[in-house]
Amino acid sequence: EAGVVQSPRYKIIEKKQPVAFWCNPISGHNTLYWYLQNLGQGPELLIRYENEEAVDDSQLPKDRFSAERLKGVDSTLKIQPAELGDSAVYLCASSPGGSSYNEQFFGPGTRLTVL
Task: State the amino acid at position 23 in one-letter form.
Answer: C
Q: Cβ closer to other proteins: 8 or 18?
A: 8
The nearest distance, CB 91 to other proteins, in angstroms, is: 7
First to last CA, the chain: 37
Q: Cβ-count burial of 75 within 10 angstroms (0-12 exposed, 13-18 middle, 19+ buried)?
A: buried
Site for other proteins in 56-85 (CB under 8 A): 56
Number of residues located near other proteins, criterion CB under 8 A:
23
Site for other proteins in 7-66 (CB under 8 A): 31, 33, 35, 40-45, 48, 55-56
Distance in angstroms (rounded) separating the CA atoms of residues 18 and 98: 34
Residues that bind other proteins in the complex, under the rule CB under 8 A: 31, 33, 35, 40-45, 48, 55-56, 91, 93, 100-101, 103-109
